[in-house]
């Protein structure tokens, strides 16, 4: 019988956005947690100032009990190495943070925790946190990979806002919301932020919480410069036919599975008093029945997709056929 799974936070963001500075804050803050950190690369300013040498995997235990792991092997091997040392009593940690390289796609990292059965039992993906450099974001977001990092996020952290003017920051916030309507945007100052914003996000839990997608103010149209990655929200106050819904989702995943970065739904199904909730990453998804709708509550189905060049009109037409 395995112990409680270890929560995992994935930290991503383009080059120079401040991931290492944030990570240093997380490791040095007085939080009483024993964090393990996996770094995918040797950065120019490693956390301890001189993060060891040339072995495939290097482990460094800090004074407060946090653990740094620098890897030149597959992520899975590093995850199993940490488990081996944890089970043998050689290391103690209760949370894991993975810092991705600046040009890394978060998708393979996220999929690791769903595709491998043992890792899925020992670790639980808590959330993806993406840092965005407010000064250089316009240039960075010309790259699809930078847009994808924003699209995968459960939290978006804006850095260097003190070096950008208010109008620039507001325009950037609008753009980030068009890409990802489900992730709250927070400001991080020189790597400092309340750790409650980064931990216990539960971004991959199956639940009926789909906020803040429903509470955001109307977005300014993107005009002629629409990003490839964008959020698509579908709503209906009419009950959905379960068989038609299943067929709609199967077609969507078959045709666009690799373009669906993150998606989530809270649905009212005809003939059932319970909410149906589902969410997924690319082609990997899960669904379950949740609590019943409250008496007098509006039974509104909401599906939210964050995807790469999704055919919006085609998807809306398909969803219209799902009504019971």
CATH of the domain at 125: 3.40.50.300
Does some domain include residue 203?
no
Per-residue pLDDT, averaged over 168-176, amounts to 95
Is residue 257 scored above 50 in pLDDT?
yes
Instruction: Report whether 145 contacts 103 (CB < 8 A).
Output: yes
pLDDT at res. 92:
87
Number of domains in the chain: 2
135 within 8 A of 20, measured Cβ to Cβ: no
**Mean per-residue pLDDT, 45-65:** 56
Q: Average per-residue pLDDT in the chain?
A: 85
123 occurs within a structural domain: yes
Q: What is the pLDDT of residue 300?
A: 92
Judgement on whether residues 10 and 58 belong to the same structural domain of the protein: yes
13 and 142: one domain? yes
State the pLDDT confidence band at 219, using cuts at 50, 70 and 90. low
pLDDT confidence tier of residue 169, bands split at 50, 70 and 90: very high
Report the distance separating Cα 109 and Cα 42, nearest Å.
18
Cα–Cα distance, 247 to 321 (Å, whole number): 10
Lookup: tokens for 84: 């081996």
What would the mean pLDDT of 264-291 be, rounded to a whole number? 91
Give the CATH number, domain containing residue 237.
3.30.1220.10
Range in 67-71, 226-230, 280-284, 309-313 with the lowest mean pLDDT? 67-71
278 beta partners: 265, 287
Q: Is residue 213 part of a domain?
A: no
Residues 146 and 243 in one domain: no
Looking at residue 40, what is its pLDDT?
Answer: 63
pLDDT of 227 above 60: yes
Confidence at 53, pLDDT banded by 50, 70, 90: very low
**249 and 113 in a common domain:** no
Band the pLDDT of 252: cuts 50, 70, 90: very high
274-289 mean pLDDT: 89
Identify whether residues 145 and 240 lie together within a single domain.
no
Residue matched to tokens 């995992």:
8
Are 247 and 182 in a shared domain?
no
DSSP code of 269? Answer: B
Query: Is the pLDDT at 174 greater than 90, yes or no?
Result: yes
Give the domain extent around 21: 6-197
Provide the token pair at 311: 């055919």
| pTM for this prediction | 0.87
The answer to whether position 202 is within a domain reads no
pLDDT band at 250 (very low <50, low <70, confident <90, very high): very high
């Amino acid at each position: 019988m395995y112990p409680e799974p270890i929560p995992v936070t994935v930290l991503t963001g383009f080059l120079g956005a401040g991931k290492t500075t944030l990570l240093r804050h997380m490791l040095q803050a007085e939080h009483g947690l024993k964090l393990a950190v996996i770094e995918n690369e040797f950065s120019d300013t490693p956390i301890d100032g001189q993060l060891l040498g040339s072995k495939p995997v290097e482990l460094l235990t800090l004074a407060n009990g946090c653990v740094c792991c620098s890897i030149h092997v597959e992520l899975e091997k590093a995850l199993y190495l940490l488990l081996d040392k944890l089970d043998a009593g050689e290391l103690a940690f209760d949370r894991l943070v993975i810092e991705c390289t600046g040009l890394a796609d978060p998708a393979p990292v996220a999929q690791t925790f769903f595709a491998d059965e043992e890792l899925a039992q020992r670790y639980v993906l808590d959330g993806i946190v993406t840092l965005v450099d407010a000064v250089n974001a316009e240039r960075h977001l010309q790259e699809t990979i930078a847009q994808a990092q924003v699209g995968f996020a459960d939290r978006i952290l804006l850095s260097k806002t003190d070096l950008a003017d208010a109008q620039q920051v507001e325009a950037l916030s609008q753009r980030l919301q068009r890409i990802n309507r489900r992730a709250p945007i927070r400001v991080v100052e020189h790597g400092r932020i309340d750790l409650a914003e980064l931990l216990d996000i539960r971004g991959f839990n199956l639940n009926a919480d789909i906020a803040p997608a429903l509470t955001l103010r109307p977005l300014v149209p993107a005009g002629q410069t629409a990003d490839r990655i964008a959020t698509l929200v579908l709503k209906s106050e009419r009950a959905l036919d379960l068989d038609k819904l299943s067929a709609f989702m199967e077609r969507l995943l078959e045709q666009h599975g690799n373009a669906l970065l993150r998606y989530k739904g809270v649905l009212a199904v005809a003939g059932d008093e319970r909410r149906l909730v589902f969410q997924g990453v690319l082609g990997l998804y899960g669904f379950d029945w949740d609590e019943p709708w409250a008496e007098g509550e509006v039974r509104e189905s909401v599906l939210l997709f964050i995807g790469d060049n999704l055919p919006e009109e085609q998807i809306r037409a398909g969803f219209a056929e799902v009504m019971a």
